[in-house]
């Protein structure tokens, strides 16, 4: 029987590494893991607790877990990401953007050809 941890090790090709947490709460991510995930100085990590496990995920920006809509300003982790995280919109923001695009391009330029 393969335990979940052993399965992950086989798939990812990385042996388990033990690190200590210093008195400030810092931990060093091993070089082989940083290289495998293309982590660079200044990159952001989203950190979650899942049962008794800490899960870290590379993210595009500092506030990825609470995403702020560019149109409405609504902050929610349920907002949608477009253009690889460069554009964040709430459901209401998507509707407003679609309406504005339609009014500026579709209805005004019906006679124009693209």
Q: What is the pLDDT of residues 73-95, one digit of tens each?
A: 888 888 898 887 788 999 999 99
* Separation of alpha carbons 75 and 88, rounded Å: 10
* Separation of alpha carbons 56 and 27, rounded Å: 12
Residue-averaged pLDDT of the chain: 78
Question: 57 - beta bridge partners?
Answer: 46
> pLDDT (tens digit, 9 = 90+) per residue, 18-29?
889 999 999 998
Closest alpha carbon to 83 in 53, 62, 60? 60
pLDDT at 25: 92
Cβ of 93: how many Cβ atoms within 10 Å? 20
* Separation of alpha carbons 87 and 95, rounded Å: 14
Question: What does pTM read for this prediction?
Answer: 0.42
Q: Is the pLDDT of residue 114 over 80?
A: no
């Amino acid at each position: 029987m393969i335990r979940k941890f052993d399965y992950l090790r086989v798939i990812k090709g990385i042996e388990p590494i033990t690190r200590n947490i210093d008195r400030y709460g810092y931990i060093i991510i091993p070089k082989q893991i940083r290289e495998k995930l293309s982590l660079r100085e200044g990159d952001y990590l989203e950190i979650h607790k899942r049962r008794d496990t800490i899960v870290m995920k590379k993210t595009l920006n500092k506030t990825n877990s609470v995403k702020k809509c560019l149109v409405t300003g609504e902050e929610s982790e349920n907002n949608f990401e477009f253009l690889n995280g460069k554009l964040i919109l709430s459901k209401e923001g998507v509707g407003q953007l679609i309406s504005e695009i339609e009014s500026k391009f579709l209805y005004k330029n019906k006679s124009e050809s693209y």
